[in-house]
Structure 1
Amino acid sequence: MSLIPWLRWNEAPPRLSSRSPAEMVLETLMMELAGQMRAAERQQWQRGHAVRKVCTGVDYSWLASAPRPTYDLSPGERLQLEAVCAKIRPSYCGPAILRFRQLVAEHEPEAREVSRLFRSVLQEVLERMKQEEEAHKLTRQWSLRPRGGLALATFKTRARIAPFASDIRTISEDVERDTPPPPRTWSMPEFLVPKED
């Protein structure tokens, strides 16, 4: 009798992700927002602590640490942000997070300003998605257009070709008139043969 089945009873079965990509994007973006809000709160508390230390000249942080302020989103604001996050495609999730982190590093906002910054990044991403989608539709329409269809018709109305009313001289006209042709100015240069004395 084999002991292998008895030894594997403690292993967890492989987890299959039953979440959709939209749910994963939503969760990732909201976790990023929560993390940036906690970091902003921590920096805000450290700045306030440094100011108190400078003002009083004494550091009592070892005795009793002041409770850190916690800022949380209101339920309505959270639902609005989740609705906007649900519109973000998975391919735009990474760039949105990078842009959000860049703006947070540049502005160093307070905890309550982080959500406004996050909302502005989401709006930027949605506008970029819309622009790229419109550009894709235009290129798709152009590639599906029949050859010689509308584009040729518009070309015909703009440019009228009149082959017999041309002022351009050709070699055939000179041959028909028995006149010597002018020096070559077309495709080949004129080669001069040295005269023999």
Structure 2
Amino acid sequence: MASWFSWNEPYYRSPRRDPADVVTDTLMLEFSWQQKEAERQQKERENEYRRLKTGVDYSWLVSTPRSSYSISTGERLGLEDLCAKVPPSCCGLVILKFREVMQANEPEVQEVSGLFRSVLMEALDHLKEEQEAQRLARQWNNKRAMSMSLVNFRSRIKINPFGSTVGLTSAVAEGAGMSDLKTVSEDVEKGMERDERSQRVWSMPDFRYKGATSSKVV
């Protein structure tokens, strides 16, 4: 029984396909379907025109024609190359855009490849613009972060100019040089002391003697 169901045979997993190949096959399948649909609608328009012109309806005698129009090999390879550049996340949007363009224009079958190419080029250009905008945004954010760090560094220098111990370690070790470092608060205190002494001098009374033997204070 086991040999009937091939249980003893090893299991082979199919290799994972490249996402670019999946996108290319999906978009080209949509293109082929739209091309056949455009050819069918073109045949219907031609039959309707003949019916209106002759006044006789022969549509019941006409069988559904097979697709006869095909693009050249070089044109197909060019379309496949453009399809491979479309990211998987944009594949659905490209298909929807292509269907909208086909519905709005109702092109002839030979015009479908040109419309498909224009949709692909527009999608790739839009994607390139978005990537460029993201690159500029990252560059601006990096420059802004660098400028902010520089501003913070300068503000720390202004607030604590002697905060760094570079170049002062030897002086501190020898016990010299620290008396030469004057802070703003020390200068302010000394200035206030000088003002107080000058105010006390001017506020003292003036003792003068009018005569050598006189002790009367004026």
Higher helix proportion: 2
Q: Which residue of 2 aligns with 1:90?
A: 88
Structure showing greater relative contact order (alpha-carbon pairs closer than 8 Å, 6 or more residues apart): 1
- Equivalent runs, 1:135-150 vs 2, <5 Å: 135-145=133-143, 147-149=145-147
Q: Which residue of 2 aligns with 1:190?
A: none
In structure 2, how many angstroms separate the alpha carbons of the residues matched to 1:146 and 1:54?
Answer: 70
In structure 2, how many angstroms separate the alpha carbons of the residues matched to 1:32 and 1:86?
Answer: 14
Cα drift, residue 62 of structure 1: 3.6
Q: Which residue of 2 aligns with 1:72?
A: 70
Matched to 1:137, the amino acid is R
In structure 2, how many angstroms separate the alpha carbons of the residues matched to 1:100 and 1:83?
Answer: 17
Q: TM-score, normalised by structure 2?
A: 0.59
- Equivalent runs, 1:124-135 vs 2, <5 Å: 124-135=122-133
Q: Which residue of 1 aligns with 2:108?
A: 110
Which consecutive unaligned segments of at least 5 residues does structure 2 have?
152-218
Q: Percent identity?
A: 49
Q: Which residue of 1 aligns with 2:20?
A: 22
Q: Which residue of 2 aligns with 1:160?
A: none
Which one has the largest radius of gyration? Answer: 2
How many residue pairs align between the two structures?
Answer: 149
Q: TM-score, normalised by structure 1?
A: 0.65
The 8 Å contact of residues 45 and 69 in structure 1, kept in 2 or not, is answered as no
In structure 1, how many angstroms separate the alpha carbons of the residues matched to 2:59 and 2:3?
Answer: 56
Cα drift, residue 65 of structure 1: 4.0
Matched to 1:134, the amino acid is E
Q: CA RMSD in A?
A: 2.8
The 8 Å contact of residues 36 and 67 in structure 2, kept in 1 or not, is answered as no
